[in-house]
Structure formats: structure tokens, C-alpha cells
Amino acid sequence: MVKENTELITWNNKLSCGIKMIDDQHKKLIILVNEMFKHVTGNEIQEKDYFNRVIHETVNYIKVHFSAEEKIMLITRFEGFAEHKKEHEKFIISVIENTRDYEAGKRYTLSSFTRFLKDWILSHIAMMDKQYFEYLKRIASLKEDGKMSISMNDMPNV
Ligand SMILES: [Fe+2]
């Protein structure tokens, strides 16, 4: 039985960066993790079956999201871009390795895999993403209209 009304992560405004596209993508990631958590039933066969059905879509979505963030950081000339991109790459590698371990029955249950995703996503938004949110807010505050839109004209002259 799938659990109803159970959220592992609840979206709150502290997670918001002020850019709708990025917020929407973070919300979708949270939905994917919460869906996974709902399927933690204790029945190993059902859990693995669910995992196999969704893991590729999940990894693909994470990649789509990372490349959107990287594009924004690149066009806004965010100085932490290289370090941030490296964190994304490391995470993708851990997801792939952990997926292999889970599939091979070496480590992980659906529950611990879900928590691994949750812990990474929340700490990444709070610590890494926050740095470019702050940077973009600074750029916006320098503009006359104070708006957080991104266009090449808004970029600082470097
Ligand atoms: Fe990020």
C-alpha cells in the first residue's frame, strides 16, 4: 500500500530563490523525492519495482535542472560557477553509484536512498544554491527597477 499524505520534504519560502523557473524545478525535485518516500512500504520487491520505474526519470530531471542552473550561473558570470558545477557532477556520480549499489542489493533500501536524495537536495539548496541566489539579488538591487530578470544587459561589467 502506498502511503498517503506523507511528505518527506515540505516546500517552504525559505527554499525560494525568487526565480520562478528555478523554484518550480526545485518543487518538482521535492515532489519526486516525496513520491519515492510514499512508496517506502517495507515490501522489498514492490520498493525495488517502483525504484526501477522512476529512477531514470529522476536522474534525467536532476540533470535538466542542473544544466538550467549552470546556464544561469554562466550567463550571469557567477564566480562560484566552476565549484558549483563540480558539486553537481559529484552528486550525479553518487546517484549513479548508489543506484548500482541498491540494484545489486549491496547497500541502500528505498528508504535510505530517498533520505540520501533528500539530505543532498536540502543542503545543496541551503548552502550552494543560496550563494548564487544572493548574487542574483545583488545584481537585481543594482538595477533601477530592482527586478530579478536575467538578461545580458543586467550583467555586471567585468
Ligand atoms: Fe545547484
Q: Look at residue 2 and tell me if it is in a domain.
A: no
Q: Look at residue 12 and tell me if it is in a domain.
A: no
Taking the centre of ligand 1 as the mean of its atom positions, its distance from the CA of residue 41, in whole angstroms, is 30
Q: What is the pTM of this model?
A: 0.86
Mean pLDDT on 109-117 = 95
Around ion ligand 1, residues with a beta carbon closer than 5 Å are 69, 129
Q: Look at residue 121 and tell me if it is in a domain.
A: yes
Taking the centre of ligand 1 as the mean of its atom positions, its distance from the CA of residue 48, in whole angstroms, is 28
Q: Look at residue 40 and tell me if it is in a domain.
A: yes
Supply the CATH number for residue 74's domain: 1.20.120.50
**Number of domains within the chain:** 1
Domain span including residue 32: 18-141
The rounded distance, in Å, linking the Cα atoms of 128 and 103 is 30
Task: Give the confidence band of 151 by pLDDT, cuts at 50, 70, 90.
Answer: low
Query: Which amino acid would we find at residue 144?
Result: E
Please count the CA atoms within 13 angstroms of the CA of 96 that sit on its side-chain side: 8
Query: What's residue 145's pLDDT?
Result: 74
Q: Look at residue 10 and tell me if it is in a domain.
A: no
- Residue 158 pLDDT > 50: no
pLDDT by residue (tens digit) across 28-60?
A: 999 999 999 999 999 999 999 999 999 999 999
Taking the centre of ligand 1 as the mean of its atom positions, its distance from the CA of residue 1, in whole angstroms, is 34
Q: Look at residue 122 and tell me if it is in a domain.
A: yes
Q: Look at residue 97 and tell me if it is in a domain.
A: yes
Residue 11, class by beta-carbon neighbours within 10 Å (0-12 exposed, 13-18 middle, 19+ buried)?
middle
Q: Look at residue 152 and tell me if it is in a domain.
A: no
